[in-house]
Structure 1
C-alpha cells in the first residue's frame, strides 16, 4: 500500500483527530442559544446546571479516553490508536444525532469524548515522533489549528441550520461531524507508523524504512537517517532492560518533575478561561446587548480570529521557543480578562430574574460603548490564546519524555486537561449566574499565576531532538537558563538545504555519546 512521506500531508491527516474536538465545541455552542434546542430538550427554559452537565459530558468522556489511550498506544501503536478513536467518534455522533432526550444526548457526548480523549492524547505523540526537530513545534501545533478549523466550520454549519424550524436544526450538525472522522479513519491507512514505537517493539527494519522514507528520500544510508537511527537505537538500548512504563512510574524519581510540567501545561491551558469564550460565547454576547442572529454572527467572528491567529504561532513557535510563547500568552490573556471584569463591573447591572431570553447564566447586562469594548476584549483574548497557549500546550508535553514514558505520561497529562475541561464546562454557567463578572477575575488571577510557574519551572525544548531533551533533563539545567536549540542547516535532511556531516556516532547528545564510549570500551 502507498505510504505518504511528506511531513505536512502526514500531519494534515493525523490532526483531523484534533478537529473532532473543534467540531464538538461549535456544534454545542452554536445550538444552545437556539429556540429549537431549548424547546426540544428543556421545554423552553434552559437549566444552567443541566446544560453544564450536557456540555461537560464530552470532556468527562475525554478524560477516560485519554487515560486509556496510553495503554492502547503502547500496545497497538500511535496510528492504530487514532483510527480506533475515529471509530468511536462515529458511534458517538450516531447517538447524539438520534437523541430523544437529555440522557441519550449526554450518552452520545460521553462516547464522543472517549474518541476525543484518545485522539487528542495520541496525535501530538505521533506527530512529535515522526517530525524533524527544527519544525516539530510547527507540525504538532497544527493540532490546535485543526481544532480552530473544526470550530469555525461546524459553527457556520450550525448557524445555517439554525434557520430550520425543526429538530433538524441541531441533528444535521451533529450528524455532519461523522464526515471528518471517516476521513481520518481512511487517511490513517496511508501514513507511516511511528519509527520510535517500531524501534521500541524491536521492529528495527521497519523503523529504519520509515526514517529513510521520511528523512532520506528512501535512502537508508543518508547521514540524517543514520544519525536519527543511532540516537533512537542508543536510547532504546538504555531503556530495554525495563518493560513498558506503568502509569505509576511517571510519578516516581526524576520523571515526576517532567510529569508535573506536562500536567501543569494542560491544566493551565484550561484555566486561561478559554472555555468561557468558546462554549458560552453566545451568553457573553447576549450580556453585551446583542440579540437574534447578530449573536451568532458576532460569535463566528471570534472563530475566524481563532483560525487566523493560530497561523503566526506555527511560524514563530520553533523560533521564539515554548517559554516565551507561554509567558507572552498568559500575560496578554490576563490583561483582557481583567479588562472584561472592569467593564462589566463599572458599566453593567444585573439582568432581570431568569436571565436574558430565558438563560439564567446570561445574568448581567452591559450598556453603551462598554458593550462594544467587552466584545473587543473577548476577541483580543481569543487572538492571544490562539497564537500562544492554544498550539503550544499541545506541542510541549510530548517533548518532555523519553520513548518509554511518552505515551502514558502524555495521555495522563491530557486527561487532566479534560478533567478541568469537564469541571469548567459544568462550573461556568452557574458561575455566571451567581457571581457574574467576577468569573473573569478568577481566570485573570490564574493567568498571572501560570506566568510565574512557567518562568520558574518550564525548560525550553524548541529546536532540540527528543533525545537531546532527554539529555537536558539528565543534566538538571534550571528552566530559566535553557535556550532554544539551534539546528545547523548542515544537519538537516535535503529538503532543508543540506546533509548531515558524517560523525563517529551521529549523536548530538553528550549523554548518548557517553553511552557509546562505554560500549566501545
Structure 2
C-alpha cells in the first residue's frame, strides 16, 4: 500500500479543482429559486437566466482551449495554479456584483479556471497513476465535483434564510477558499513524469516515477525502470514520427481517438444531467412537489454516494459497460418523467414563472417524477460522469494529449453552454417534450458507444496505439493475451539483466549525437528538493 500512498494523496488533493466545478453548478441550482436572488436581479427568466448560467461555460470553452498550449509549455501543475487565481478573481466579482452584467463577467472569468482545470487535472492524474488503478484515481475528480455540489448547495440553502443580499453573496465569496488551498498546496507536489520526459527533463522524470512507485524512492527498482522505458520509447517514437502540432490531431492515426474523446464529452452533456443539476428546483416545482429546494438537495447526496462504487470498481467494470448501462437507464428515467408530465400536466396559469407546464393534485405522479430524478442522478454518477473525464486522457499520445483533451473538454463546455442557455427557454416553450429529447439522446449515445468505443481499462497509456491499431473493429475489445502484464514482464527482464534501460545520461548523449537540442525551459524547480525532506 505504501507505494500507492503518494499517488492517492496527490490525486485527492489536486481533485480540489473539481470541487470548484461543483461549486459552480450548485451556485446556480441553490440560488435561482430564492426570493433574494430574484428580487435583486429582477427575476431573470428564459434567455436572461440562460445567459447567467451559460456565461460560466463560455469562459470554460476558452479556458479548455488554452489549456493545451499552457499545459504543454508551463506544465500541468503550474497551469492548474494559474487557474485557481482566475477562480478567485471570478468569485470576488460574483460576490460583489451590482447587477447582471457584472455577475455574468465574474462567472465567465471563473469559467476560465474551470476550463483549464477540467482539462488538465485528469491529464495530471492519468500521468502519475499506475495503469491498474488509473480509473479510480481519475474518478477522484468527479467525486470532488459531487462533494463541491453538495457542500455549496447546503451552504446556499442555509444562507437562503438570511433576508438580505448576503443570502447569495456569502456562498459566492466562500467559493474562493478551496482555490486558495489548492494554489498554495500545489507548490509541494511533483510535476507529471510524462510531461517532464516530453520536455527532456529525464533525470527528474525518473526520480518522480521512483517517488510515486516505491517507498524508498529507488531509481534502480525494476518496476520504475520498466515504466521509465515505456515512456522513453513512446516519446522517442513520437519525436521521430511528427511534430507536436494541432495538424497531427486530425491525422489518420489520431483523429479516431480525438473524435471519440469529443463524442464522450458531448454525449455526457446531452444525457441531460445538467437539467437535473442546474434547474432541478424548476423541474420539481413544476411537478407540484412542495419544499422543492430541500428535496432537491437529496439528489446531491445521492450523487456523492453513487460515485463511491465507481471509485472502487471502475477499473474492474471497464469503460464500455459503464457507458452502455448508464445510457439505457438514463433514457428510461427521462422517458418516464416526460410521459408523466404529458399525461398529468396542464398549462401554468401564472405567466411570470420559469415553467409553463405544471402538475396539480396528482401526488403519485409527482412522487414518481421525484424518484426518477433521483434515479437519473444516481445512474449518471455510476456511468457517464467519471468516464467522461477518464476516457479522453487515456487514449491520446503524450505529444498531443493536452491538445486532444483540450478540444474534447472545450466541446463539453460548448454543449454545457448550449444546454445552460436553452433549457430555461425550453421549459417555457416545449415543457415536457424536452425530457423526450434527452431520452433520445441517451439512446443515440448507447448505439455510438456500442459500435465505436474500445475498452481501455488496465492498459498503460503507452499501449493505446496497439488498442486503436490492432486491426479489429473498435467495438471489439483489444485483448492481447499474454501481454496484459507488459510492465511486469519488462520489470522481470530488467531484474534478470536480459533487458537494458537507457539512463538519463545516456539519453542526453544520444540526443547530442543526433543533433537534437535541449527543449526544457529550465524554469521549474527540481522536484528532488521537495521530496528529500
**TM-score computed with the length of structure 2 as normaliser:** 0.89
Report if aligned partners of 1:239, 1:404 keep a CA contact under 8 Å in 2.
Answer: yes
Distance (whole Å) between structure 1 residues aligned to residue 471 and residue 406 of structure 2: 24
Which residue does the alignment assign to 1:515? none
Which residue does the alignment assign to 2:272? 273
Matches within 5 A, 1:255-270: 255-270=254-269
How far is the alpha carbon of 1:477 from its aligned partner?
3.2
Equivalent residue of 1:480, what SS? Answer: coil
Which residue does the alignment assign to 1:253? 252
Which residue does the alignment assign to 1:365? 359
Distance (whole Å) between structure 1 residues aligned to residue 309 and residue 181 of structure 2: 27
Report if aligned partners of 1:305, 1:382 keep a CA contact under 8 Å in 2.
Answer: yes
Equivalent residue of 1:253, what SS? Answer: coil
Report if aligned partners of 1:272, 1:447 keep a CA contact under 8 Å in 2.
Answer: yes
Matched, 1:382 2:377: yes
Matches within 5 A, 1:85-484: 85-217=83-215, 218-241=217-240, 245-291=244-290, 294-354=291-351, 358-361=352-355, 363-366=357-360, 367-482=362-477
Report if aligned partners of 1:52, 1:427 keep a CA contact under 8 Å in 2.
Answer: yes
How far is the alpha carbon of 1:316 from its aligned partner?
2.0
Distance (whole Å) between structure 2 residues aligned to residue 227 and residue 35 of structure 1: 61
How far is the alpha carbon of 1:488 from its aligned partner?
9.8
Report if aligned partners of 1:5, 1:191 keep a CA contact under 8 Å in 2.
Answer: no
Equivalent residue of 1:501, what SS? Answer: helix
Distance (whole Å) between structure 1 residues aligned to residue 369 and residue 5 of structure 2: 46
Report if aligned partners of 2:287, 2:341 keep a CA contact under 8 Å in 1.
Answer: no
Distance (whole Å) between structure 2 residues aligned to residue 39 and residue 483 of structure 1: 57
Distance (whole Å) between structure 2 residues aligned to residue 309 and residue 231 of structure 1: 35
2:493 to 487, 502, 511: 502
1:315-351 per-position Cα deviation (integer Å, ceiling 9, x unaligned): 2211011011110100110110101111111111121
1:341-362 per-position Cα deviation (integer Å, ceiling 9, x unaligned): 11111111121141xxx42335
Equivalent residue of 2:346, what SS? Answer: strand
Q: Which consecutive unaligned segments of at least 5 residues does structure 1 have?
A: 508-521
In structure 2, relative to structure 1, the CA distance for the partners of 1:506 and 1:482 (3 Å cut) is: farther
Which residue does the alignment assign to 1:511? none
In structure 2, relative to structure 1, the CA distance for the partners of 1:362 and 1:298 (3 Å cut) is: farther
Distance (whole Å) between structure 2 residues aligned to residue 244 and residue 82 of structure 1: 25
In structure 2, relative to structure 1, the CA distance for the partners of 1:506 and 1:415 (3 Å cut) is: farther
Matched, 1:24 2:24: yes
In structure 2, relative to structure 1, the CA distance for the partners of 1:17 and 1:243 (3 Å cut) is: farther
How far is the alpha carbon of 1:244 from its aligned partner?
5.4
Q: Which consecutive unaligned segments of at least 5 residues does structure 2 have?
A: 502-533
How far is the alpha carbon of 1:484 from its aligned partner?
7.2
Distance (whole Å) between structure 2 residues aligned to residue 500 and residue 487 of structure 1: 15
Equivalent residue of 1:349, what SS? Answer: strand
How far is the alpha carbon of 1:506 from its aligned partner?
8.6
Report if aligned partners of 2:225, 2:491 keep a CA contact under 8 Å in 1.
Answer: no
Report if aligned partners of 1:48, 1:359 keep a CA contact under 8 Å in 2.
Answer: no
In structure 2, relative to structure 1, the CA distance for the partners of 1:505 and 1:399 (3 Å cut) is: farther
CA-atom RMSD in angstroms: 2.0
